[in-house]
Amino acid sequence: MNFFRLLFVTLIFLSNTALADIINVSPTDIIKNASNEIVNERQFLQDLSSKVEALLANKKNIEAIELAKASALKAPQSVKIQFFYVSLLAFLENKQQALQQLQTLKKRFPNNGKAFFMSSVLQWQEGKSELAIADMVKATALSPQELKYWLMLSQMNHDGEGHGLNVHKGSLQALLSAERYHESNTDLLYRIAATYDEESKSAQALTYYAKVLALMPGHNDANIASAINTLKIDSNADVSIWQKSAQSEAYRLYIKGVKSFYQGDYQQALETLHGIQNELTNNGHFDYYLAKVKLALDKNSEAVNFANSAISKGVFPSEQNELIKLIAASKAATITFPMHKIDHKGVGESIGRIDIIELSKGIVIKPVLSGLAPGGHGFHVHQEGTCDNVVVDGENVAGGMAKGHYMGHQHHGSPAGDLPNIVFDKQLIADVAFFAPQLTLNEIKGRSFMIHALATKDANLRIACGVAK
């Protein structure tokens, strides 16, 4: 593979495809340039590629871009050459220039899905999720046969909607739309099934796992998922069909162990699952069941270890919620933030504390609070580790010294310090622990937790604050 082809393979984040799929979009090699002269497009592109490759090899990036730009101007109607130029811009991190060029291409080639696809991915990388999704919707409409467009649209909706229960409407709709054009694609069908699984919709998940198994009977993950969802519905169900069909002996034993768990034979479940533990080291769902079995056998510390492992590897939201409750109830706080009411007079009475439990990936935030108004309140990590007031236009602003939200990195389109609303019940108590996968212990040290009066994202009135001991 030559250097320039390597560039485009590296650029796979843009198109999830090979070089040929980016540039081979014209039905003929013969085109007319800007001077209305006949040009062999393929030869033109090969020459351009060689020259750009040589410039990049000598670290002459600006010259390479200028050459590609000049070539694009010479052949304004060549889709291949236009995409060559814009792909080079994106690869060299000139994203704004690439986006500007793509705006031109979308107008010049309004029926070309690739322009909208590439624009969408770049917009997403720039944090412009609404524009990105709009462009990807257009790409799927123009090129419905392109499975990667549907998959990217699904992922964008998934990330934008979050990872809680019943929040994947847009993501699922994209996958179901793709099925119309790719009804025999096992990867797509499995994604649909897994999305229903994330939503805890076992019946719908089973329907799509069955479609996967009709095409690929030995599919290990579809077999175990079918058995588990069936046992969730009926713990005494016969799951032997999936146990026999699984291609791997480890997965056949996995199904046996899970069945023992659902039937209450925890010791048998433990022995069976332990026997295949070394063969399923990257499976978060497997660790979830080990955590559940250990808990049922009163081996709490071991259960917590497997819960931590399962969360770090990835599990479904319902499973994660169970594991977070287990960890919050059993594991001591790594660090504590005493929380106090704040107002224009300064820091006031205590309302309890927020315990932080460090995990292999992310942290558990466990509020032990009382005394604020019932309902949801905005809740964030703020930049500075102080709850002191500041004076603005002659007035004290509660908690102003903490500055704004901790920005960190983007997490599903929001700063790392943005957290779910904290909810106080009718007894004015907040004690429901939750998981913050985007934060680490080191990130929150030296910062503050802030509670706002309102639940809106931009609520400014700060009513409670805490800094770590």
CATH: 1.10.10.10, 1.25.40.10, 2.60.40.10, 3.60.15.10. Which one for 169-330? 1.25.40.10
Beta strand 379-382 pairing with 346-358 = unpaired
DSSP-assigned letters across all residues of 77-131: T-HHHHHHHHHHHHHTT-HHHHHHHHHHHHHHSTT-HHHHHHHHHHHHHTT-HHH
- Res. 17: pLDDT tops 70: no
Cβ neighbours for 183, distance < 8 A, ≥ 6 positions apart: none
**Domain at 3-142, CATH homologous superfamily:** Tetratricopeptide repeat domain (1.25.40.10)
Looking up tokens 């999704």 gives 133
In the chain the first and final C-alpha atoms are separated, in Å, by 56
**pLDDT tens-digit readout, 33-57:** 555 566 677 788 888 888 998 999 9
Q: What is the 3-state secondary structure (H, E, C) of 441-464?
A: HHHHCCCEEEEECCCCCCCCCEEE
Q: State the Rg of the chain over Cα.
A: 27
- Give span(s): CATH 2.60.40.200, the chain: 335-467
- Res. 167: pLDDT tops 80: no
**pLDDT tens-digit readout, 282-293:** 999 999 999 999
**pLDDT tens-digit readout, 66-95:** 999 999 898 888 888 888 999 899 888 888
pLDDT at 208: 98
**pLDDT tens-digit readout, 348-369:** 999 999 999 999 999 999 999 9
Q: How far apart are CA 114 and CA 207, in angstroms?
A: 33
How distant, in Å, are the alpha carbons of 76, 102, 165 from that of 153? Answer: 29, 18, 19
- Give span(s): CATH 1.25.40.10, the chain: 3-142, 169-330
Nearest to 83 by CA among 3, 154, 25: 25
Fold assignment, 335-467: Immunoglobulin-like (2.60.40)
Structure tokens at 243: 């146990």
pLDDT at 412: 57
Cβ neighbours for 101, distance < 8 A, ≥ 6 positions apart: 72, 82, 85, 86, 89
